[in-house]
């Protein structure tokens, strides 16, 4: 790797990504590739913290790699790999469980409480402990910057705490990473309920546009999106959350500032605005899908094999240092 700062980030292969995931994560990753040394992972071990159909998981993993590539991730300049292909992730996670993480740390994690809900006693240990695996993912690569959504920032803070604790109690091995959250557009909300994050389970799919949605279907979803009480196209997150959400989507997918979009639709009302947005979304999806469907499964396997070798070289060096520090080497 060059002297640029190192970034690590990953997404679970637990379903198809939507435009919210593209705007909040993938587009940010693509922009970072020129400025940083990037390590991008398909975190399939995180996916199995809840029950998955094995064959579906394999399919989603392949689809996610193609999504990374179609979005603009350059596997030649960045490291792109599958988490389960590099055993150092789970081995370091065990070391950190024993020599860094604390029960008190994990008891503070809001994601477990949100996902397990009233069924915490029957939830898997993996769902409770996966923030430590996430810390392992990050610390293995001497990561300095972790681009995340607001809901994952707490986990990066845990990685920071574990790194500091390990470095103090054993040896100065881990770099202390920093979370970077894109402020505007970090959370794209449901088209049907702007108080909730966009999800494929929204309103029979009407609240969510997946990256592989049929183009005409996606345009219809935009036209059926909820708006606010007046007819002014203006960004005002507090008083106009629905239109503000649509403006965010228009801005990122249409490569225009929010101010430019507001000016374009000044005095024109929501009908014209949503028609314009529908065309912007359609154009983006068509370009994305053309790239996606041009990638073969064979290409994906070759890219993952190459990425595995690159990732393992870095990860195993860090793991060996941690083993020696705690006395198991």
What phi and psi values does residue 227 have, to the nearest 5 degrees? -130, -175
Can 4 be counted among the known catalytic residues? no
Can 197 be counted among the known catalytic residues? yes
What phi and psi values does residue 74 have, to the nearest 5 degrees? -95, 105
Q: Which of 197, 219, 240, 274 is catalytic?
A: 197
Contact of 66 with 288, CB cutoff 8 Å: no
Q: Which of 5, 153, 200, 234 is catalytic?
A: 200
- Looking at the DSSP assignment, which residues form a beta bridge with residue 145? 7, 178
Q: Which DSSP string do the residues of 158-226 spell out, in sequence order?
A: HHHHHHHHHHHHT-S-----EEE--STTSSPBPSS-TTSB--TTGGGGTT--BTTS-HHHHHHHHHT--
Calpha distance 163→192 (Å, rounded)? 41
Contact of 28 with 183, CB cutoff 8 Å: no
Can 200 be counted among the known catalytic residues? yes
Closest CA to 155 of 208, 96, 95: 96
Say if residue 113 is exposed, middle or buried (CB neighbours under 10 Å; 0-12, 13-18, 19+): exposed
Contact of 209 with 240, CB cutoff 8 Å: no
Instruction: Give the residue numbers marked as catalytic.
Output: 115, 197, 200
């Amino acid at each position: 790797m060059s002297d640029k700062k190192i970034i690590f980030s990953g997404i679970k292969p637990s379903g198809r990504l939507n435009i919210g995931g593209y705007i909040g994560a993938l587009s940010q990753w693509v922009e970072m590739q020129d400025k940083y040394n990037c390590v991008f992972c398909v975190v399939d071990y995180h996916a199995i913290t809840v029950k998955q159909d094995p064959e579906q998981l394999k399919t989603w993993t392949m689809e996610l790699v193609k999504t990374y590539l179609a979005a603009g991730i350059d596997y030649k300049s960045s490291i792109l790999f599958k988490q389960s292909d590099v055993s150092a992730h789970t081995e370091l996670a065990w070391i950190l469980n024993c020599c860094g993480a604390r029960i008190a740390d994990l008891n503070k994690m809001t994601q477990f409480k949100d996902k397990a809900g009233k069924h915490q006693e029957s939830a898997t240990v993996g769902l409770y402990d996966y923030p430590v695996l996430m810390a392992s993912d990050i610390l293995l690569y001497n990561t300095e910057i972790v681009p995340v959504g607001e809901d994952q920032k707490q986990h990066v803070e845990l990685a920071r705490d574990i790194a500091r604790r390990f470095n103090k109690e054993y040896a100065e091995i881990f770099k202390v990473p920093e979370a970077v959250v894109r402020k505007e557009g970090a959370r794209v909300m449901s088209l049907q309920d702007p108080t909730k994050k966009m999800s494929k389970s929204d309103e029979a799919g009407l609240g969510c546009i997946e990256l592989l949605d049929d183009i005409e279907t996606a345009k219809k979803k935009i036209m059926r999106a909820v708006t606010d009480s007046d007819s002014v196209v203006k960004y005002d997150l507090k008083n106009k959350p629905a239109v503000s959400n649509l403006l965010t989507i228009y801005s990122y997918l249409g490569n225009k500032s929010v101010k430019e979009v507001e000016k374009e639709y000044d005095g024109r009302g929501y009908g014209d605005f949503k028609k314009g947005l529908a065309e912007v979304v359609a154009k983006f999806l068509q370009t994305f899908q053309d790239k996606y469907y041009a990638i073969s499964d064979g290409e994906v396997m070759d890219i993952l094999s190459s990425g595995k070798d690159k990732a393992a070289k870095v990860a195993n060096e860090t793991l060996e240092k941690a083993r020696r520090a705690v006395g198991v080497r």
